[in-house]
Amino acid sequence: MAKYSILDDDIQEILLSPEEIDSIIERIADEIDRDYKDSKRLLLLGILKGSVVFMGELMKKLKIPVEIDFMKVSSYASGTKSSGRVNILLDLNRKDLSECDILIIEDIIDSGRTLSYLCEYLALNGARSVKTCTLLDKPSRREVNFTPNYRGKEIPDKFVVGYGLDYAEQYRALPYIGVLKPEVYNK
């Protein structure tokens, strides 16, 4: 019997267990509570779809009030390779950005292109402030210079799935972060 999911068989190694992820998010929530205690309007901006599990858990652990919104962008053309370009597929449709302290919530930073582009875009659109929060970071893969304000865990250059992260839209619901067996995507 699978421990967590029928899809466990496609996973080579569990990098972060559900319990480890929980304590990472607990720590990040404490940092955000402390840093934004004087903010009048904190907007958590989730990047669809990968951030939804992380953001759902993070917002429940925050003690300060937050609003949420979402954008959808694509940087991955398909599969496991970045296309190097960022397209906005779903934009923010609000006129009150000048009142909002935006905290962008991402699942993982790889090349850094998505978040560096979005930070610039939101600043140009008049956000009061823009910071970034990612559950995972693969710093060895950077193509542009970018450092997040909040980071759950640095991981090696391996393709991971679970906790919102997908391969070909699968595996997002796994409650852990796992390394996908290469034979799954080399099929």
Residue 50 vs 178, nearer CB to Mg ion: 50
Q: How far apart are the first and last CA of the chain?
A: 25
| Among positions 17, 39, 82, 125, the unique one binding ligand IMP when judged by CB under 6 A | 82
Site string for Mg ion, 108-127 (x = CB under 5 A): --------------------
- The closest of 76, 80, 62, 65 to 25, measured between CA atoms, is 62
Site for Mg ion in 29-88 (CB under 5 A): 50
Strand order across the beta sheet in which 11-16 lies: 11-16, 177-180, 160-161
CB contact set of 6 (below 8 Å; sequence gap of 6+): none
**Distances 50 to 65, 105, 131, 162 between C-alpha atoms, Å:** 23, 9, 18, 9
Concerning whether 110 is annotated as a catalytic residue, the answer is yes
The yes or no reply on residue 132 touching ligand IMP (CB under 6 A) is no
Minimum CB–partner distance for residue 82 and Mg ion (Å): 11
Nearer to ligand IMP, 47 or 100 (CB): 47
Among 58, 110, 133, 135, binds ligand IMP (CB under 6 A): 110
128 burial class (0-12, 13-18, 19+ CB within 10 angstroms)? middle
On the CB side of 95, CA atoms within 13 Å amount to: 0
Among 165, 174, 177, 184, binds ligand IMP (CB under 6 A): 165
Residues 43-62 that bind ligand IMP (CB under 6 A): 50
Instruction: Please check whether residue 178 is in contact with residue 12, taking contact to mean a CB–CB distance below 8 angstroms.
Output: yes
**Options 101, 107, 110, 137, the catalytic residue:** 110
Q: Binds 159, which of ligand IMP, Mg ion, none (CB < 5 to 8 A, cut-off by type)?
A: ligand IMP
**Catalytic residue IDs:** 110
Which residue ranges make up the site for ligand IMP (CB under 6 A)? 50, 75-76, 82, 106-114, 159-161, 165
